[in-house]
Amino acid sequence: FLLLLPLAWTSTGGWVRRLGHGRWKGLHRLAYAAAALGVLHFYLRVKKDVTEPLAYGLVLLTALSLRVVDWDLRRRRRARAGV
């Protein structure tokens, strides 16, 4: 929850201008850490049946994997275009 507070606070256009896009983007990458730590916390809190936290972890891993694949495809397209 504490990792999400700065993200909520700086989610307006005014904060993007104040921080600059690069610093704002870096700050908002905390969402990935918050999601991973949330899944870990859920896993550690469950006593017997860890099926649900593992399912959430699998969904998170799938979503992050799709982000990596998309990033790589865009990077390759830019390299081919000479940008």
Q: Say if pTM beats, i.e. exceeds, 0.85.
A: no
- The DSSP annotation for 2-68 comes to TTHHHHHHT-SHHHHHHH-HHHHHHHHTHHHHHHHHHHHHHHHH-SS--HHHHHHHHHHHHHHHHHH
Per-residue pLDDT reduced to its tens digit, 17-55: 999 999 999 888 889 999 999 999 999 999 899 999 999
